[in-house]
Amino acid sequence: MIQYNADAQQLINQTEQFVKKELAGAEGGHDWWHIYRVWKLAKKIAASEKVDLLVVELSALLHDIADSKFHNGDESVGPRKARSYMESVGVPEATIQHVVNIIMHISFKGGHNAGTFHSAEMAVVQDADRLDAIGAIGVARAFNYGGFKNRALYDPGIAPDLYMTKEQYKNSTAPTINHFYEKLLLLKDRMNTATGRQMAMERHAFMETFLEKFYKEWEGES
């Protein structure tokens, strides 16, 4: 059992307030409510896994504290800010390092890019984060971010690219519909836990139904 110098629930409550303040005014797909949903999903998944719940909750709450998409692509900002916060409230170094590793490796980097850090806790939080990227919420988030970046909804002349490098994926300006093929529809088969896989199936099916209807309406067929 990890020892820390503050009551676990007090630490989680304090972290919740910190994240709410830090993400006030953030883009709608990466705001406090994204964190809230991932946090709730992570706790649900963790209930069926042998994990350190404190690491899971801290990682879920802090995983997008400074998303690189909104910091000129600098992937060090989020882990650095999370570490600074945890140090300031007396979280033990071993826990800090575990949480920072999760934050550094949780993100999807493109169709054929794999992470290099793994833990049971990361598996839980990564599944929760990926679940929030698919289903009805995932559709809403995709188009919200596409609008934020002034991207086209769809362009039949621009095909999805499943083999982008990390830099190409990060800098892509492709239409939002392409994002479904380049990321969202791939996530069902990349879940780590049984609970995550089960939940992903329903959300994946919703996206397939959405896309089928989208293309029919695009061509004026329905």
Classify residue 151 as left (phi > 0), alpha (psi -120 to 50) or beta.
beta
CATH class of domain segment(s) 8-218:
mainly alpha
Q: Which amino acid is at 190?
A: R
Q: Which amino acid is at 167?
A: E
| Segment 42-53, tens digit of pLDDT | 999 999 999 999
Task: Compute φ and ψ for 186, nearest 5 degrees.
Answer: -85, -20
- pTM as predicted: 0.89
Distance between CA atoms of 54 and 106, rounded to whole angstroms? Answer: 17
Q: What is the distance between the alpha carbons of residues 98 and 56, in angstroms, rounded to a whole number?
A: 10
Residue numbers of the chain with a pLDDT score lower than 70: 1-6, 66-74, 108-115
* 3-state helix vs strand vs coil in the chain, percent to 5: 60, 0, 40
Per domain, the residue ranges of the chain are: 8-218
pLDDT tens digit sequence for 133-186: 999 999 999 999 999 999 999 999 999 998 888 788 878 899 999 999 999 999
Contact 62, 99 (CB under 8 A): yes
**Contacts for 69 with CB less than 8 Å, ≥ 6 apart:** 30, 170
| CA dihedral for 147, 150, 154, 158, sign (positive or negative) | negative
